[in-house]
Structure 1
Amino acid sequence: MFSTAGSSAFFSLTLLLISALVLLLLRYYLPLRTTPAYVLVPVFLAIALPASIVLLVPIDLASSAGTDTDGSRGIWLPEMVVYKSWRVTYWLTFALTWVILPLLGEYCDSGYREPKERFLYALRSNGRYQLMYLGTGMVGAIYFFLQNGWRFESFKALVMALAYAWGLVLAIYLMGHGLVAVPRSLWRYASVSGRLKRLQGNAPRVHDRLTEALDKLEQYEAQVVQLKQRKNGTAREFQEWIDELVEMSSLPESRASGTRTSSVAVPPVITERYLADLTRKLKRARHAKVRFTDEWDRLVRKALNTQAILDSSASKRLEFLESPFQSPPTTFFSRPTVLTPYTRYHLYKHLIPTLTYTLSLLASLASASVIWSETVKSLEPKLSLVGLTVVHHPRSDRGRIGFGGQLIAALWLCYMCICAFFSLSEVRVWGNRALVRRGTYEESATWYGVQVAKLTVPLAYNFVTFVPPNIYRETGFYKFLGRLIVLTPLGNGFETFFPMFVLVPVLASIFGLYSKAKDIFGFADLLDDEEEENGDEGTGSWREGRALIERERQGLVGNSLGLASRNGSRDGSPRVEAPGYRDEPNGVVGPSASASASASASARLGRSRRVQDVEDEDEEGGFFSDFADRVRNTFDEVEFRKPKWLGGEEEENGRGRRGGRARDGGAGLARWFGKDEGRVRL
């Protein structure tokens, strides 16, 4: 009889390590001191519990199919401990996914002041969401009760099967997309020049979104300024509420009254619902500004570093310059005490691209293995490549799983989860939610916690089915969840054959079907296909981004884009702040570099100027550009004369007068297309 003391100690220490890593992750995306505990604790559990599932699955496999030798048995626990661990982990994750975090997200997003009003708002906002699942559950309940009769076990099986089915549908789609997107992203990242071109191509889009966020924030802040002017005519509790909104805002009264007075619509009667709606919109606008400011700063920093890598090819020396727009490198390999400029050049120019290409090839092989295993496991489980790498056969007629198989199983499960979570940021159909360094919106943090908790359990059980049935049916995971999923023939067929639909997102990603779908159905704002980035080289988008990044690099003085960090003073004059990070009025820490607090009017002026700069740069184009200009000039100089039967004699007599007018408004064919004194010629 083997002892479980060592396995129990390893399991406990690993759980502590996972908890520490989750805390570091939360500290990276959330300001721990200002984030309330009722947000931190559920989000922490929503990430830590799924992470422990990645550890629990290999332990469950080895506990039910371990080897007979103590040295290679691996980490195992008694059957009852594994079963109870699954019960606690699953039901906590279930409650966080379907009840706690959705209500908490709406509670954080509410604009009301009192906790009771915020909780009622969360209930109302989640009512439609919960009624949709309740209606689906009623339809499933009729089928379950007709199939198995009215029993509590049937009701519990219904709830677990429906939650698993919905999570599996989303997990299969996201994982299938990620199985292609992860190797492709690694392959593209290895090319330094291609990486710079993509950064420059994304720069106009990011800057336009930043400008829109600044405009929207300015509108809401101007509305708050007008509310302040009418504060004395409202109720006492509304006056305190308006004072809080004024403290939350940062727009001076002079700018607000001078720029947005005509577009602000303040109702004649101030109500609680109006103030709550304005508070919610103002919070969203402030966090949108923090989000796109951080995205713009990271894009500029990456573009400058990538440009420095390309420029170092001649001198064989690489140094990342420090500027007001670019924070000093903080990675281990970028410290000057560790790497010299010469070694840094070889690291970023040769070693990192080679390692990235290698990782891309390994990820491609792993993706192909997962796709093959998903398609053949229902037909012939013995052909599953993932199962063959996990299950070993040491001198026995039944497959065994040792410590090596546990490590391989953990790596496979981690890769499947990484592909699914990577797609959350790739596929832009989730609204305005994003993870921002030290500035993530609380509602966004709860939403991402929901997705992590929702996807991990279906992916974990889907991975368990890669091994032969005589092994995974002995696990505690199957006895707790799988047995209830296959309680009816419908559930059994869904669990067996639906994972084969992973081919749909895989083929859609490989052949670029997303771009075709958005052209047909109008999903241009939802689906961003990276394949189109290389196709825009002739349109000037990457040149426009290069002009934006270059002007950003030049410094604070004479910055027509308005990308300097400025806050208006009371007299309306701009005040320049030092670069770096500063505390937002609401306790949110956000970057104050470049575009964070710039005036939207300057940004709009910069947008028009950058277009003119790009047009000036394009005058010195390549062969096709020069050829098109020469053809156009040739036709512009052609002078067509009317025949005599159409008044040609008048043309000859008045040639000089009309010729002068033609020279003023455009000659030849150009006059037919609207170049005659600004009028359009039909």
Structure 2
Amino acid sequence: MDISSASSTGSNIFAITSLLTISLLVLLLLRHYLPLRTTPSYLLIPVFLALALPSSIILLVPIDLASATSSTTNNPNRGVWLPEKVVLVTWRITYWLTFCLTWFILPLLGEYVDSGYRDGRSRMIYSLRSNARYQLMYLGAGVAGLVYFILSNGVHTTSVKGLVMALAYAWGLFLAIGLMGHGLVALPRRLYKNANVSVRLRRLQTQAPATKDKLDEATSEFEELENTVWQLKQRKNGTSTALQEWIDELADTTAVPDRRPGVAAAIRATNTGIPAVVTERYLADLTRKLKRARHKKARFVDEWSHLCQHALNTQTILDSATTKKLEFASSASGQNSWLRLTPALRYQLYMNIIPSARIGASILLAAASLMVIFSEIVKSFAPSISVIGLTIVHHPNSSGSKVGFAGQMIAAAWLLYMDTCALYAISDVKVWGNRALVKRQTYAESACWYSLQVAKLTVPLSFNFITMLPPSVYKETAFYQFLGKLINLTPLGQGFSAFFPCFLLLPVLASLFNVYGKLKKVIGFGVLEDESEANVSGFGTGGWREGKALIERELLSRGEGLTSRGGTSLDLERRVGGSATGSSTPPIAGRGRAAQRDPLLPTHVQDANRQFNSITNREEVVEEDDGPRHFYHDFAERVKNTIDAPDRPEWVRAVGSALTTTPKWMLNEQQTDQSSGGGSVFSRWFGGRAEDGRVRL
């Protein structure tokens, strides 16, 4: 390209400004999930680069498309473009930095921060050993691929470089296609389901029992590890000075265990995993387990808190249908403090505008998903009818730039949507173990792993994206000249790049027809979370009725009221003087029963406690009924109380007495005398019992 550098000044300013904006957004994202001040720089810098570099590819691909022009100076450049050498150097720096972060730096760093050892040398040895199996697997595949490359192209440097880039691309594309196929269906479907407020509330209530069980399990596991640490502290005198300092450091990061009489003995009896001789390896393993358990507890505490708050806000939106005015609780008011709205306008926003916007967005994204799927299928044999290519290339017969500024914006939007679907599927697929992103408390190993996935998926998706354009456009780009020729160096690589994306239909159909849920029923566990309400009735564990009761009890313990559809509140602080007595866990035997029979509690709170015990199949110990209560028990009592009401009509009582009174012709003489209040003299003097229980003589 022989265009003067002065003509690209505006494009240079735009590219630099966009790059700075992307870097700022990545920093804000890191600040949301990681405490920047306490996070070490050796972790923060690689994670930042692993997010910023793939994000810049969304900017670099459209610039590369517009820069792919002919070599004459008279051809117009209609979009943001850069000189060819600048684009090529940028691709080399971005690709090889991303490659090193993906396959070497981040895997080693993740195991390094997760090791549990105190000194850096032991951490590095542990990290190298943990990644050895991972790297040996790829080394075996690389040897087989190297033999094929040498047989096809001979022994030279291009074969080795092409092998490395082709294997990395193949593995990344395999994951990207599977995750993107699921996300293309799951993302629009989630928006459509969340549009209905009542359906969204029911889904939250259905998820509550499983989330609460995971929180209780994580809390129990963490407390058990803390007790192990304190037992070690009591037995540290027999170890070396370095190990004693290590144990003291662990004890300083844990809470003091329960000091009640008998608790320590019970813990020692149940915890038999402490060896007779404490070694450095054992302490490292305990430290690693303790850090993972702390992260697991923080994860589910955040999920449970978010779920309860979301359920409270959703119920508040439903309750506002009667008054047409919406006022969130004080704890939720911060979410819309930036938007000053009246209660009436807020009701219209949350009840009508936002649901309609979600439905419209779901329809728009569903149409975009269909276009992406169609373009992936037809690109190998009919690229001219690819929808993505038609929407981006606006000047196919131009001798200059075939992609203008509008085409660049559309290309960035398409690429962003494809990446978003793949990354959304990562949060939706539940096969990643204990890894999760927690606000301000994300575990260091989880941060490395998620940034690694972003870096691993972006480059294959970007190259797969440009192949959906006409060959006359994408083969002129610096991206294809740098990566595409090495991938297509052999017939096997060329066929894989052209036809493998057609397998996108497999995860799409699996998500569309809920194949994962059916596999869960067949083999007993699920790869993906099944959102279908299999237990709609709510009986037993996992139903929405149990989830509703759990959420209500949690909000009672916080002093927040979860309003019902009738407008009544379960807020104890507002209706009863004193602190709330609700608890997020089932009440302790004896103390919880007394609280349920407490006459000071409002009737609706007693009903909520009784409903929780009945749904979770817990026995409610009351004087008149000591068996488990279900909804049909409550229904029968309400019908009975309605019929036995004191203000029922006279004819109803007459009919009732007529049906319950035995006719005189069916009674014997003694029964007739007793019913009439009389009887024989003998029976009146000597028979029967007095009303107070005394015997007549």
Same fold judged by TM-score > 0.5? Answer: yes
1:173 CA displacement: 0.3
What does residue 619 of structure 1 align with? 632
What does residue 214 of structure 1 align with? 219
The answer to whether the Cα contact below 8 Å between 2:64 and 2:477 also exists between their aligned partners in 1 is: yes
1:609 CA displacement: 8.8
Alignment partner for residue 337 of structure 2, among 335, 338, 363?
A: 335
What does residue 281 of structure 2 align with? 273
1:187 aligns with 2:192: yes
CA distance in 2, matches of 1:190, 1:179: 18
Q: Assess, with a 3 A threshold, how the Cα gap between structure 1 residues 492 and 610 changes in structure 2: closer, same or farther.
A: same
Q: Assess, with a 3 A threshold, how the Cα gap between structure 1 residues 371 and 459 changes in structure 2: closer, same or farther.
A: same
In structure 2, the residue corresponding to 1:260 is in which secondary structure?
Answer: helix
- Deviation string 1:531-582 (CA, Å, 9 cap, x unpaired) is x226534546100000011111223532343499xxxxxxxxxxxxxxxxxx
- Deviation string 1:469-499 (CA, Å, 9 cap, x unpaired) is 1110110000000000000000000000000
What does residue 262 of structure 1 align with? 269
CA distance in 1, matches of 2:338, 2:110: 43
1:196 aligns with 2:201: yes
What does residue 305 of structure 1 align with? 313
1:561 aligns with 2:584: yes
1:134 aligns with 2:134: no
The answer to whether the Cα contact below 8 Å between 1:392 and 1:402 also exists between their aligned partners in 2 is: yes
The answer to whether the Cα contact below 8 Å between 2:116 and 2:288 also exists between their aligned partners in 1 is: yes
Q: Assess, with a 3 A threshold, how the Cα gap between structure 1 residues 132 and 350 changes in structure 2: closer, same or farther.
A: same
What does residue 251 of structure 2 align with? 246
The normalised TM-score by structure 2 is: 0.79
- Which segments of 5 or more consecutive residues in structure 1 lack a partner in the other structure? 565-605, 627-682
1:397 CA displacement: 7.2
1:480 aligns with 2:493: no
The answer to whether the Cα contact below 8 Å between 2:205 and 2:547 also exists between their aligned partners in 1 is: yes
CA distance in 1, matches of 2:554, 2:295: 22
In the TM superposition, 1:75-224 aligns within 5 A as: 75-224=80-229
- Deviation string 1:248-284 (CA, Å, 9 cap, x unpaired) is 1114252661552222121110101100000000111
The answer to whether the Cα contact below 8 Å between 2:313 and 2:332 also exists between their aligned partners in 1 is: no
In the TM superposition, 1:290-369 aligns within 5 A as: 290-322=298-330, 327-331=331-335, 334-335=336-337, 338-369=340-371
Alignment partner for residue 233 of structure 2, among 224, 228, 233?
A: 228
Tell me which structure has the larger Cα radius of gyration: 2
The answer to whether the Cα contact below 8 Å between 2:309 and 2:332 also exists between their aligned partners in 1 is: no
The answer to whether the Cα contact below 8 Å between 1:188 and 1:195 also exists between their aligned partners in 2 is: yes
1:529 CA displacement: 1.6
What does residue 388 of structure 2 align with? 386
1:462 CA displacement: 0.4
Tell me how many residue pairs correspond in the alignment: 575
The answer to whether the Cα contact below 8 Å between 2:557 and 2:584 also exists between their aligned partners in 1 is: no
The answer to whether the Cα contact below 8 Å between 1:544 and 1:611 also exists between their aligned partners in 2 is: no
What does residue 403 of structure 1 align with? 405
- Deviation string 1:287-346 (CA, Å, 9 cap, x unpaired) is 111000000000000000000000000000111112xxxx33333xx2287111111000
- Deviation string 1:24-51 (CA, Å, 9 cap, x unpaired) is 0000001111111111100000000000
| One-letter code aligned to 2:278 | I
The answer to whether the Cα contact below 8 Å between 2:34 and 2:442 also exists between their aligned partners in 1 is: yes
- Deviation string 1:510-542 (CA, Å, 9 cap, x unpaired) is 111111222333333x42122x22653454610
- Deviation string 1:67-108 (CA, Å, 9 cap, x unpaired) is 999986110001111011000000000000000000000001
- Deviation string 1:430-483 (CA, Å, 9 cap, x unpaired) is 111000000100000000011000000000000000110111011000000000
In structure 1, the residue corresponding to 2:333 is in which secondary structure?
Answer: coil
CA distance in 2, matches of 1:481, 1:73: 26
What does residue 420 of structure 2 align with? 418
Alignment partner for residue 427 of structure 1, among 426, 429, 433?
A: 429
Q: Which moved more, 1:66-75 or 1:145-154?
A: 66-75
What does residue 530 of structure 2 align with? 529
1:491 aligns with 2:496: no
The answer to whether the Cα contact below 8 Å between 1:374 and 1:500 also exists between their aligned partners in 2 is: yes
The answer to whether the Cα contact below 8 Å between 1:200 and 1:543 also exists between their aligned partners in 2 is: yes
Q: Assess, with a 3 A threshold, how the Cα gap between structure 1 residues 373 and 613 changes in structure 2: closer, same or farther.
A: farther
Q: Assess, with a 3 A threshold, how the Cα gap between structure 1 residues 54 and 85 changes in structure 2: closer, same or farther.
A: same
The answer to whether the Cα contact below 8 Å between 2:117 and 2:284 also exists between their aligned partners in 1 is: yes
CA distance in 2, matches of 1:481, 1:518: 40
Q: Which moved more, 1:254-263 or 1:218-227?
A: 254-263
CA distance in 1, matches of 2:339, 2:397: 54
Q: Assess, with a 3 A threshold, how the Cα gap between structure 1 residues 10 and 607 changes in structure 2: closer, same or farther.
A: farther
In the TM superposition, 1:662-673 aligns within 5 A as: none
CA distance in 1, matches of 2:617, 2:35: 38
| One-letter code aligned to 2:210 | R
CA distance in 1, matches of 2:147, 2:338: 68
The answer to whether the Cα contact below 8 Å between 1:198 and 1:534 also exists between their aligned partners in 2 is: no
In the TM superposition, 1:542-561 aligns within 5 A as: 542-556=544-558, 557-561=580-584
Q: Assess, with a 3 A threshold, how the Cα gap between structure 1 residues 394 and 171 changes in structure 2: closer, same or farther.
A: closer
Q: Assess, with a 3 A threshold, how the Cα gap between structure 1 residues 619 and 68 changes in structure 2: closer, same or farther.
A: farther
| One-letter code aligned to 1:263 | T
1:619 CA displacement: 2.8
| One-letter code aligned to 1:48 | A
The answer to whether the Cα contact below 8 Å between 2:66 and 2:78 also exists between their aligned partners in 1 is: yes
In the TM superposition, 1:53-68 aligns within 5 A as: 53-65=57-69
CA distance in 2, matches of 1:122, 1:218: 27
What does residue 30 of structure 1 align with? 34
* Percent identity for Structure 1 against Structure 2: 57
The answer to whether the Cα contact below 8 Å between 2:150 and 2:159 also exists between their aligned partners in 1 is: yes
CA distance in 1, matches of 2:401, 2:75: 16
Q: Assess, with a 3 A threshold, how the Cα gap between structure 1 residues 622 and 434 changes in structure 2: closer, same or farther.
A: farther
Superposed CA RMSD:
2.3
Alignment partner for residue 456 of structure 1, among 458, 463, 470?
A: 458
CA distance in 1, matches of 2:373, 2:635: 44
CA distance in 2, matches of 1:535, 1:393: 55
What does residue 657 of structure 2 align with? none
Q: Assess, with a 3 A threshold, how the Cα gap between structure 1 residues 227 and 535 changes in structure 2: closer, same or farther.
A: closer
CA distance in 2, matches of 1:215, 1:471: 59
Q: Assess, with a 3 A threshold, how the Cα gap between structure 1 residues 13 and 20 changes in structure 2: closer, same or farther.
A: same
Q: Assess, with a 3 A threshold, how the Cα gap between structure 1 residues 522 and 68 changes in structure 2: closer, same or farther.
A: farther
- Which segments of 5 or more consecutive residues in structure 2 lack a partner in the other structure? 559-579, 588-611, 621-627, 640-697
Q: Assess, with a 3 A threshold, how the Cα gap between structure 1 residues 607 and 471 changes in structure 2: closer, same or farther.
A: farther
The answer to whether the Cα contact below 8 Å between 1:167 and 1:454 also exists between their aligned partners in 2 is: yes
What does residue 574 of structure 1 align with? none
